[in-house]
Structure 1
Amino acid sequence: MQRRDLFRQLSRAAAALAWQQVFAASGRVQPDDASAWSEPADVFTLGVASGEPQPDSVVLWTRLAPRPLQADGGMPARAIPVPWEVALDARFTQVVRQGVAVADPAVAHSVHVVAHGLQPGRAYFYRFSAGGQHSPVGRTRTAPAKDAKVRNLRMALASCQHYEHGFFTAHREISDADVDLVVFVGDYIYTTEAPRHAQVRKHAHAFAKDLAARTLADYRVHHASYKLDADLRAAHAAHPWLMVWDDHEVLADYAGDHDPYLDDAQAFLAVRAAAYKAYFEHMPVSPHRVPARADMPMQGRFQWGQLADLWLLDTRQYRDASVCQGSVLHAPMGGKVLWRCKAAEEGNRTLLGQGQEDGLAEGLAGSMASWKFIVQTTQMSPGLLHVPVAGDLVYAEGWDAFPAARARLMEAIAQPRVQDVVVLGGDVHRHVAANLRLDPRDRSSPIVASEIVASSITSKGLSELANAWIKSSNPDIVHMRSDERGYVLIDVSPQQVQCEFRGTLHPVRAQAKFRTQARCLIERGVPGVRKV
Structure 2
Amino acid sequence: MNVRVGSTRRSFLTVTGAAAAMALTGSLPEVEPAKAGATGPVDRRDPYTLGIASGDPLPDAVVIWTRLAPEPLAPFGGMDRRPVEVQWQVAEDEQFRRIVSQGTTLARPESSHSVHVDVRGLRPWRHYWYRFRVNGKLSPVGRTRTAPPPNAVVPEMSLAFASCQAWWEGWYTAYADMAKRDHDVVFFLGDYIYEFGIDRGIRPHSNEPYITQQTVTLDEYRVRYASYKMDPDLQAAHAAAPWVVTLDDHEVVDNWADEAHPSAPPAQFLVRRANAFRAYWEHMPLRFAQLPNGPDMQLYRRIRYGRLAEFSVLDTRQYRSDQAYGDGTKAPGPETKDPARTITGDAQEKWLLDGWSASQSRWNVLAHQTAIARLDTKDGPEVLVPMDTWDGYEASRDRVLGGAVQRNVRNLVSIAGDLHRSVASDLKLDFTNPDSPTVGSEFVGTSISSGIDGMDLDPGGLTLLKENPHIKFGNFQRGYVSCNITPQRWISDYRVVDKVSVPNGTVSTRAKLLVEDGRPGIQSV
Q: TM-score, normalised by structure 1?
A: 0.91
The answer for the alignment partner of 2:460 in structure 1 is 466
Say if 2:525 is the partner of 1:529: no
Q: Distance in 1 between matches of 2:41 and 2:291?
A: 26
User: Secondary structure in 2 aligned to 1:469?
Assistant: helix
The answer to whether the Cα contact below 8 Å between 1:499 and 1:519 also exists between their aligned partners in 2 is yes
Code of the aligned partner of 2:447: S
Q: Distance in 2 between matches of 1:310 and 1:505?
A: 31
The answer for the alignment partner of 2:394 in structure 1 is 403
Q: Distance in 1 between matches of 2:517 and 2:103?
A: 44
Match of 1:344 among 336, 345, 364: 336
User: Is the alpha carbon distance of 1:352 and 1:458 closer, same or farther for their aligned partners in structure 2, counting shifts above 3 Å?
Assistant: same
Greater mean deviation of Cα atoms: 369-378 or 410-419: 410-419
Percent of residue pairs identical = 37
Match of 2:504 among 486, 497, 511: 511
User: Secondary structure in 2 aligned to 1:324?
Assistant: helix
Say if 2:429 is the partner of 1:425: no
Give the 5 Å matches for 1:208-357. Answer: 214-260=216-262, 262-325=263-326, 336-339=328-331, 342-357=334-349
The answer for the alignment partner of 1:487 in structure 2 is 480
Give the 5 Å matches for 1:149-188. Answer: 149-188=153-192
Code of the aligned partner of 1:271: R
User: Secondary structure in 2 aligned to 1:409?
Assistant: helix
Code of the aligned partner of 1:267: Q
The answer to whether the Cα contact below 8 Å between 1:185 and 1:246 also exists between their aligned partners in 2 is yes
Q: Distance in 2 between matches of 1:441 and 1:171?
A: 37
For these two proteins, the number of residue pairs brought into alignment is 506
User: Is the alpha carbon distance of 1:268 and 1:469 closer, same or farther for their aligned partners in structure 2, counting shifts above 3 Å?
Assistant: same
The answer to whether the Cα contact below 8 Å between 1:324 and 1:341 also exists between their aligned partners in 2 is no
* Structure 1 residues 248-267: Cα deviation after superposition (integer angstroms, max 9, x where no partner): 1111111111113x132222
Q: Distance in 2 between matches of 1:416 and 1:300?
A: 19
Match of 1:18 among 5, 12, 27: 27
User: Is the alpha carbon distance of 1:205 and 1:115 closer, same or farther for their aligned partners in structure 2, counting shifts above 3 Å?
Assistant: farther
Q: CA deviation at 1:29?
A: 3.1
* Structure 1 residues 78-102: Cα deviation after superposition (integer angstroms, max 9, x where no partner): 1111111101112212111011111
The answer to whether the Cα contact below 8 Å between 1:62 and 1:111 also exists between their aligned partners in 2 is yes
What is the aligned-residue RMSD (CA, Å)?
A: 2.3
Q: Distance in 2 between matches of 1:16 and 1:221?
A: 20
Q: CA deviation at 1:516?
A: 0.6
User: Is the alpha carbon distance of 1:431 and 1:308 closer, same or farther for their aligned partners in structure 2, counting shifts above 3 Å?
Assistant: same
The answer to whether the Cα contact below 8 Å between 2:197 and 2:212 also exists between their aligned partners in 1 is no
Q: CA deviation at 1:28?
A: 5.2
Greater mean deviation of Cα atoms: 503-512 or 200-209: 200-209
The answer for the alignment partner of 1:333 in structure 2 is none
The answer to whether the Cα contact below 8 Å between 1:34 and 1:82 also exists between their aligned partners in 2 is no
Gaps of 5+ in 1: 329-335
User: Secondary structure in 1 aligned to 2:222?
Assistant: helix
Q: Distance in 1 between matches of 2:227 and 2:5?
A: 39
The answer to whether the Cα contact below 8 Å between 2:39 and 2:84 also exists between their aligned partners in 1 is no
Give the 5 Å matches for 1:101-140. Answer: 101-140=105-144
Greater mean deviation of Cα atoms: 438-447 or 138-147: 438-447
User: Secondary structure in 2 aligned to 1:167?
Assistant: coil
Q: CA deviation at 1:16?
A: 9.7
Q: Distance in 2 between matches of 1:116 and 1:203?
A: 44
Q: Distance in 2 between matches of 1:289 and 1:514?
A: 34
The answer to whether the Cα contact below 8 Å between 1:39 and 1:132 also exists between their aligned partners in 2 is no
* Structure 1 residues 271-329: Cα deviation after superposition (integer angstroms, max 9, x where no partner): 1110000000000011111111111111100100111100100011111112322xx5x
The answer for the alignment partner of 2:16 in structure 1 is none
Q: Distance in 2 between matches of 1:315 and 1:17?
A: 22
Greater mean deviation of Cα atoms: 504-513 or 267-276: 504-513
User: Secondary structure in 1 aligned to 2:348?
Assistant: helix
Q: Distance in 1 between matches of 2:84 and 2:336?
A: 51
The answer for the alignment partner of 2:202 in structure 1 is 199
Give the 5 Å matches for 1:75-94. Answer: 75-94=79-98
The answer for the alignment partner of 2:33 in structure 1 is 27
Code of the aligned partner of 1:442: N
The answer to whether the Cα contact below 8 Å between 1:485 and 1:508 also exists between their aligned partners in 2 is no
The answer to whether the Cα contact below 8 Å between 1:246 and 1:316 also exists between their aligned partners in 2 is yes
Code of the aligned partner of 1:353: G
Code of the aligned partner of 1:485: R
Code of the aligned partner of 2:323: S
The answer to whether the Cα contact below 8 Å between 2:378 and 2:384 also exists between their aligned partners in 1 is yes
Q: Distance in 2 between matches of 1:266 and 1:16?
A: 16
The answer for the alignment partner of 2:19 in structure 1 is none
The answer to whether the Cα contact below 8 Å between 1:43 and 1:131 also exists between their aligned partners in 2 is no
User: Is the alpha carbon distance of 1:73 and 1:166 closer, same or farther for their aligned partners in structure 2, counting shifts above 3 Å?
Assistant: same
Q: Distance in 2 between matches of 1:174 and 1:497?
A: 18
User: Is the alpha carbon distance of 1:368 and 1:107 closer, same or farther for their aligned partners in structure 2, counting shifts above 3 Å?
Assistant: same
The answer for the alignment partner of 2:149 in structure 1 is 145
Q: CA deviation at 1:23?
A: 2.3
Code of the aligned partner of 1:29: K
The answer for the alignment partner of 1:331 in structure 2 is none
* Structure 1 residues 134-193: Cα deviation after superposition (integer angstroms, max 9, x where no partner): 111111110111121111110011110000110011111111111101111000011124
Q: CA deviation at 1:199?
A: 3.2
The answer to whether the Cα contact below 8 Å between 1:433 and 1:453 also exists between their aligned partners in 2 is yes
Q: Distance in 1 between matches of 2:70 and 2:124?
A: 35
Say if 2:387 is the partner of 1:393: no
Q: Distance in 1 between matches of 2:38 and 2:485?
A: 43
User: Is the alpha carbon distance of 1:16 and 1:248 closer, same or farther for their aligned partners in structure 2, counting shifts above 3 Å?
Assistant: closer
Match of 2:431 among 427, 440, 443: 440
Gaps of 5+ in 2: 14-23
The answer to whether the Cα contact below 8 Å between 1:413 and 1:449 also exists between their aligned partners in 2 is no
Code of the aligned partner of 2:35: V
The answer to whether the Cα contact below 8 Å between 2:108 and 2:114 also exists between their aligned partners in 1 is yes
